[in-house]
Amino acid sequence: MKKLLYVIILIIAVNFHCYGQYDGDFKLSPICEYQNIDNSSYFSAGVKAEVYLSDNISINYHILFGASSQKKFYFQTTASSVGGILLFVDGLNNDSEEIKYLGLLLMIIPDGLSLHFDAGEKLRISPYFNPLLFVASNSLSSSPQMAGEYGISFNIKKYETVVVEPYIGIKKIYADIDWGMAFGLSIGYIIN
């Protein structure tokens, strides 16, 4: 089992290294977001990371903490990371190498995917699809929940390594019938 884990890690590392040959292979951004969903408004802040698989495709990771308009706690992250952490802890508690490794592999599954299209020398339009979100709040009708967010961002390159990114999207808590809106801004730093 350990040899299999080493082979999987090696394949992932080689793939990220090869994909990293593109300009702007990793972007790390502080993020602020306002959303209106499930009859509540939420303001949150956190960190977003994007790994560019090519010049026009990236995978997304988010973690956000915030509060609702009723001063209730709000949390959002990648659903697979929550499951991966739970499996990893279970593997530690039961001394199971396989479950620990499965938890680690599950943690690298992203929120979703962005596509990037050039719209000028310093502007890229990027539709995004994040179907694997985990949302928890004590103001939601039931919590925690699985959710998805789909929208468009505008990547405005201010300097060689700095990108300002306003975005707008729709958010769906899968167990709820209503759709919500999400608006946000991030300022990304590109690491080549």
Structural domain spans, the chain: 23-78+111-191
Under a CB-based contact definition with an 8 Å cutoff, are residues 67 and 46 in contact?
no
Most confident of 62-71, 82-91, 95-104: 62-71
Under a CB-based contact definition with an 8 Å cutoff, are residues 106 and 87 in contact?
yes
Model pTM score: 0.76
On whether the 23-78+111-191 domain is CATH 1.10.10.60, my answer is: no
Handedness of CA 30, 36, 38, 43 (dihedral sign): positive
Under a CB-based contact definition with an 8 Å cutoff, are residues 36 and 176 in contact?
no
The reported pLDDT for the residue numbered 142 is 59
Does the pLDDT value for residue 2 go beyond 80? Answer: no
Handedness of CA 88, 90, 93, 98 (dihedral sign): negative
Does the pLDDT value for residue 95 go beyond 50? Answer: yes
The reported pLDDT for the residue numbered 23 is 52
**Out of 18-22, 33-37, 101-105, which region has the weakest mean confidence (pLDDT)?**
18-22
Quick: pLDDT tens for 104-160.
887 888 889 999 998 888 899 999 999 888 888 766 655 678 888 999 999 988 887
**Out of 33-37, 55-59, 80-84, which region has the weakest mean confidence (pLDDT)?**
80-84
**CA torsion angle 110 11 192 47 (round to 10):** 20
The reported pLDDT for the residue numbered 15 is 46
